[in-house]
Amino acid sequence: MTNLRNILLAILAAGPMLLLWAGTAAAGVLSSLFPTKTRETFGPFEITRSESSYTYSSGDVRNLKSVRQTYTLRHRGEPVRIHVLTGREGDPGYLETEFHELATFTTSQPVLLVKLLHQPTMVRMVYLLREDGPNLRIERAHVDVPFYVGEPGGPYEYQRLDPTPPPVGESVPPPSSLVLRIPGSGRWLLAGFTAAIDTQTFAVLHFPMRPEHQYTMQALMVAPDGNSFVRKVVGTGSSIDHQLIVFNLPDLSTYSLPITPQRMQFVNRSGASYEVTRPAWLHHHFEWLPRAGGGYQLAERKKYNPWPAGEGLLDTDTLGNRSYVIRGFRAGLGERLLAFAESEFKARRVDRADPRLAQDAPRKPDPADRYFAVDDVVTPGADAVILKLHSEDGLLSLVPLRGQLAPELDKIALAFGHRIISGQQDDLVIR
């Protein structure tokens, strides 16, 4: 009985997920009854991370593994307890001691952003913890709201408003400690949709949000002084989608700017408006102008060239010839596509003197044409498929040699198109 009692206590200590597992024991097998613990000191805080794992089965799939990590804190030796209100009338709330994520940012003193799950509603809540003299000060910074667009959790939920954004494709590195470090040096730190934290005074400001709007969580463009930023309205299914919202700090005022479909190419052929969420697209069409009384005002540029047509176009003409065409980029995009095909699809460059090109050799070779070979994905071991790449300023095309059908073309085009969508080629856009 003593051993059984110890096992049950271990399950309870591991948290609700393992307790739920205990109720369906026939579906899983515990791989770790006793949580492993990791400790770290962060300024006046002592952090303990508990990690519990177990394996389980789902239908015919066996040996699936789940890991649960939680954190507890001590401030100068005393346990940290956060008083959480449930929102129920007459309910005094409860004290939470178990947290799900810790983050910090560069500032004059150790500060923690602590995330927990609100038990009645299971929404995420973020609290700001810092010292105020010898005492610990706890302030609610962010509550999840149903205006969410994007990836939840981690660095995506926090953003330092730096006027100069990080290079395209740069990501937040994994934390080297138990505390996620938010990069950047701007004065303001966004926490979710509704809160901005002043990293100098630690004041927490809350934006008025309009329930008929949904916004991107990330600030897509930041003014040169770091006190204004841009979000896009999304997901309402009406003309209101075609506008940007500018938020000003610290007065929390807002204004909107329309996106003009007649002048700006922002919707691809499938109807998706992801182009607008790319910083390069915004800077191409809009600019920050200084205001007489200080600060900056966002305005549409008076002149700009048409923006490239999204990720490129895969098409088949009336004779059944397949092609991939991208417009609006400089000629250097061809070399990038070729290097991409080499690294991802094991493409091999083909010399112009190769006899396999005889059927495609024009009397006067075009210096903008290059050729490469990829393995036949339909018939392994068959002759390689040769593709012709043409690249000049404003136009890139990729086609198979005459008489060849090439599903390989589609695979390369779709994969490279994702790189264009992610903004990794924005430096080659013709302005």
- Does pLDDT of 123 surpass 90? no
Q: In the chain, what are the helix, strand and coil shares in percent, each to the nearest 5?
A: 20, 35, 45
End-to-end Cα, the chain, rounded Å: 76
Number of neighbours of residue 367 by Cβ within 10 angstroms: 7
| Residue 275 phi, psi dihedral angles, 5° rounding | -55, -35
The residue with greater pLDDT, 404 or 145, is 404
- Does pLDDT of 318 surpass 70? no
Cα separation values, 49 from 119, 127, 378, Å: 20, 18, 50
- Does pLDDT of 297 surpass 90? yes
139 CB-side CA count, 13 A: 17
**What mean pLDDT, rounded, does the chain reach?**
76
* pLDDT for the residue numbered 35: 65
Topology classification of domain 313-428? TATA-Binding Protein (3.30.310)
Q: Give one DSSP letter per residue of 355-424, joined into a string.
A: GGGGGG--SS--TTEEEEEE--SSSTTSPPEEEEEEEETTEEEEEEPTT---HHHHHHHHHHHHHHHTTT
258-286 pLDDT, tens per residue?
887 667 765 544 444 555 666 777 888 89
* pLDDT for the residue numbered 93: 86
- Does pLDDT of 335 surpass 70? yes
* H or E stretch covering 22: helix 16-22
* pLDDT for the residue numbered 227: 96
* pLDDT for the residue numbered 311: 63
The residue with greater pLDDT, 190 or 263, is 190
* pLDDT for the residue numbered 213: 64
Question: Alpha-carbon distance 72 to 12, whole Å?
Answer: 16
- Cα torsion for 83, 89, 91, 97, to the nearest 10°? -30
Crossing angle for the helix pair 407-421 and 333-345, to the nearest 10 degrees: 120
Question: Alpha-carbon distance 376 to 371, whole Å?
Answer: 16
Q: What ranges do the domains of the chain cover?
A: 2-72, 313-428
State mean pLDDT over 388-416. Answer: 81
CA angle 36, 40, 41 (to 5 degrees): 155
Question: Alpha-carbon distance 71 to 47, whole Å?
Answer: 7
Q: Give one DSSP letter per residue of 180-214, joined into a string.
A: EEEP---SEEEETTTEEEETTT--EEE----TT--
Please choose, from the candidates 157, 261, 128, 175, the residue with its C-alpha nearest in 3D space to the C-alpha of residue 219: 157
pTM tops 0.75, yes or no: no
Q: Is 271 helix (H, G, I), strand (E, B) or coil?
A: coil
* pLDDT for the residue numbered 34: 55
> Residue 158: which pLDDT band, with cuts at 50, 70 and 90?
confident
